[in-house]
Amino acid sequence: MIRSLIAPNKAASGPADPASAACNRSNQTTLFQLLRYPDAEAATGGRASLPGSLLSAFCFLLSLPAYAVQHFPPPDFTTGHKLPVTATPPPRAEWLAYMDIGVLIAALMLATYFVLWKRNRRAIGGLSIFSLAYFGFYRHGCVCSIGAIQNVAQSIADPNIVLPVVAGAFFLLPLIFALFGGRVFCAAVCPLGAAQDIVLMKPSKAPDWLAQCLGVLPWIYLGAAVMYAAIGSAYIICRYDPFVAFFRFGGSVPMLVFGGGMLVLSMFVGRAYCRFLCPYGALLRLVSPLAKWKVTVTPDECVQCRLCEDACPFGEIRYPTPRDGGISRTEGKSRLAALILLLPVFIGMGAGLGYLASDKLAQVDPAVSLAKRVWLEDHGKVKGTTLETDAVRKHDTPKEEVYLQSLAIGKKYRYGSLALGGWIGLVIGLRLIGLSIRRRRSDYEADSAGCVACGRCYLSCPVERFRHGDAEAIKILEEYRA
């Protein structure tokens, strides 16, 4: 008997042709003024502003697809048949794909410069708008670094799958830049982060215990996405992307509701998707602490003024640790040793639970759901038929072949679910171990793993404002240095 496998409907969203509109200087200025971020720099006067230049470049790029050639036009049907609306953008000319890589490299270089050397929140915000317009609305959110995780996983698991150059570049480049400058991709290049950053109005910090618990979800999502892609069942990151329906100006009602709810949540909780769901953010958390140049709250010395304590809406500023208080060093070592010993137990329990859930996790695969539906119809468990089961019977496909294919996929899920459960146990165990390790800090520091390099904390520091000639900052520094 085939296991009870019912596949959920795929979320689909229809593409929309990108609209090319003339962008004049007044439009650029209006859009730029939407970024109401504090900054100590003087206005640019008659000179062309950076956001205006970026938007001008974007308008130029909008016209480039007109020069692309469609090598394989659709057939001209004489029966009145209409081609269905696809859920993903159509293929692009090869040179346009390489242009996307070039734009990504240029954006990452600019983000690194704005974050680490110029330390300019306004420039970061302007680049974010460009990235949202280009990688989001113009490219319809495809290809993206987050979804490229699945292309890489499937190409590694299946030697017959060739990794596209664009997908590989979008996967590797932000990680490479993170080795030098931290999460500059999150700062101003990722369209999902930019969409959440723009709507952020009145951020409120989540309790530490809740943030720590929700911080496990990106790692679980990463493991699940890798498993489904490696088996070849689905690209769940793309299927359940909360913002792609807006980028393509259309989508299923559930995904539009999910995306709208995420945007509303992001008005009050800074970058909720980035912090508590994004699987690529989990990878960047591993790489960013190794960066050669890290984001710092102050460009020089920390004067302990405490003005930056509430500057980060994401809770990624770490305070100086108190010299006294807390648990004793002996007790801390005992707790750490106990958690390390329990780590194999966490992994084993997770692997066991994952194995037991393999049938449920296999629901996503269409071949498994088809075999189950055929079996239910043949045994009178359900009424009526579906288009898929009618096609099986119409083409005289042997049912045994359908069942054997389902069983073969089910076997992959048993191994995949075993690995996924063990991965989840490992993540939970390592999170507990990390919380038990005490790190001493003498200054206010940006967390090298979680900081998205948005630059909001820069102008809360009087040392930074002193560089811009702020008179109030000079008084604060004189007070704390006295």
Report whether 16 contacts 248 (CB < 8 A): yes
- Cβ-proximal residues to 105 (8 Å cutoff; 6+ apart), any chain: 173
Report whether 190 contacts 128 (CB < 8 A): no
**Three-state SS letters, 285-333:** HHHHHHCCCCCCCCCCCCCCCCCCCCCCCCCCEECCCCCCCCCCHHHHH
Q: State the DSSP H helix or E strand holding residue 317, giving kind and residue range, or none if neither.
A: strand 317-318
* Side-chain half-sphere exposure of 283, counting CA atoms within 13 A: 22
Q: Which parts of 132-252 fold into alpha helices (H)? A: 145-157, 165-181, 184-188, 191-199, 208-214, 217-231, 236-239, 244-247
Rounded to whole angstroms, the Cα distance separating 297 from 305 reads: 12
| Position 414, amino acid | R
- Cβ-proximal residues to 355 (8 Å cutoff; 6+ apart), any chain: 414, 417, 418, 421
Rounded to whole angstroms, the Cα distance separating 224 from 236 reads: 8
Task: Quote the tokens at residue 403.
Answer: 């069942």
Nearest of 173, 145, 174, 186 to residue 295 by alpha carbon? 186
pLDDT in tens, the chain (482 residues): 444 433 333 333 333 333 333 333 333 333 333 343 344 443 344 444 555 565 566 566 555 555 555 555 666 666 666 666 666 677 778 888 899 999 999 999 999 999 999 999 999 999 999 999 999 999 999 889 999 999 999 999 999 999 999 999 999 999 999 999 999 999 999 999 999 999 998 888 888 889 989 999 999 999 999 999 999 999 999 999 999 999 998 888 999 999 999 999 999 999 999 999 999 999 999 999 999 999 999 888 888 888 888 889 998 998 888 766 556 677 778 888 999 999 999 999 999 999 999 999 998 899 999 999 988 988 888 888 888 888 888 887 788 888 899 999 999 999 999 999 999 999 999 999 988 887 788 888 899 999 999 999 998 888 888 887 777 777 777 776 65
Phi, psi of 465 (to 5 degrees): -65, -30
Rounded to whole angstroms, the Cα distance separating 131 from 271 reads: 16
